């Protein structure tokens, strides 16, 4: 309800300052920004529901996950640099999976964004990609950030859940629910290992490349 409360608050301020055109304009800009936030939130909530219900249309293609991770790490370089965070890569030259490129970029982007957001200045974030013994692709994001308390570990994947310690950071508490829903819609799985005060590692495992029809191999 927070964005709607803020939207209401800005409108209320505008109503009370009807003489001053600049204040009215500022209040309108605030209202528009809050409206955008609500729209993003609703879109994400709808995406999560669709992905969970199995009704999300995934545009699956053969894509190189290693190339995608490299590209996204470059995109986040500036944000990381601003906090003095070095993003280290440990990736194979290429690793192909059958997945929806746009959705996977959102998944990796969300995990990387969180890693940077919940890390202290001058720390390191590691992006790794490898094939496990059964040939499945495993992507991980490790940070040296605030970590996650034991009692929060199972709840962070819930919609709108935010651990107490992270409330000072921007966010809606929808990123990880989205990540989980999308990865599971790809028949994959997610999990996390974390130690409060030391850091967290988030994992996403994707099934073997099943071919462009997306069917499971026998």
Q: What are the residues binding ligand ADP (CB under 6 A)? A: 114-115, 118, 143, 145-148, 156, 161-163, 166, 171-177, 200
Q: Tokens 């055109």 belong to which residue?
A: 21
- The residues near 25 (Cβ < 8 Å, ≥ 6 apart) are none
* Contact predicate 6/34, CB 8 Å: yes
| Region for residue 19 given its phi and psi (left: phi exceeds 0; alpha: psi -120 to 50; beta: otherwise) | alpha
Closest CB to ligand ADP among residues 175, 188:
175
Closest CB to ligand ADP among residues 92, 120:
120
Q: Which of 119, 108, 131 is nearest to 202 (CA)?
A: 108
How near is the Cβ of 173 to ligand ADP at its closest, in Å?
4
Closest CB to ligand ADP among residues 188, 207:
188
CB closest to ligand ADP, residue no: 171
Q: Tokens 């995990």 belong to which residue?
A: 111
How near is the Cβ of 206 to ligand ADP at its closest, in Å?
20
Written as six digits, the tokens of 72 are 């996204």
Closest CB to ligand ADP among residues 105, 209:
105
Sheet holding 189-195, edge to edge: 86-90, 124-131, 137-142, 199-206, 189-195
207 phi/psi in degrees, rounded to 5: -65, 165
For the chain, the first-to-last Cα distance in angstroms comes to: 47
Closest CB to ligand ADP among residues 27, 115:
115
How near is the Cβ of 95 to ligand ADP at its closest, in Å?
23
How near is the Cβ of 214 to ligand ADP at its closest, in Å?
27
How near is the Cβ of 23 to ligand ADP at its closest, in Å?
31
How near is the Cβ of 148 to ligand ADP at its closest, in Å?
5
Closest CB to ligand ADP among residues 76, 118:
118
């Amino acid at each position: 309800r927070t964005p709607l409360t803020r939207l209401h608050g800005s409108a209320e301020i505008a109503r009370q300052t009807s003489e001053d055109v600049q204040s009215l304009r500022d209040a309108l800009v605030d209202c528009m920004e809050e409206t955008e936030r609500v729209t993003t939130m609703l879109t994400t909530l709808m995406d999560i529901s669709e992905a969970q219900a199995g009704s999300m249309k995934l545009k699956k293609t053969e894509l190189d996950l290693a190339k995608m991770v490299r590209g996204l790490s470059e995109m986040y370089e500036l944000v990381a640099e601003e906090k003095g965070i070095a993003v280290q890569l440990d990736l194979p030259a290429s690793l192909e999976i059958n997945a929806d490129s746009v959705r996977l970029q959102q998944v990796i982007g969300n995990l990387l964004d969180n890693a940077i957001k919940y890390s202290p200045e001058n720390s390191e974030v590691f992006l790794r990609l490898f094939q496990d013994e059964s040939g499945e692709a495993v992507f991980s994001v490790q940070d040296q950030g605030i970590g996650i308390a034991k009692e929060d570990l199972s709840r962070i994947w819930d919609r709108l859940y935010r651990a107490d310690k992270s409330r000072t950071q921007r966010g809606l508490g929808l990123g990880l629910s989205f990540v989980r829903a999308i990865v599971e819609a790809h028949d994959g799985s997610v999990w996390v290992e974390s130690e409060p005060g030391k850091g967290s590692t988030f994992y996403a495992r994707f099934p073997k490349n099943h071919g462009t029809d997306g069917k499971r191999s026998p």
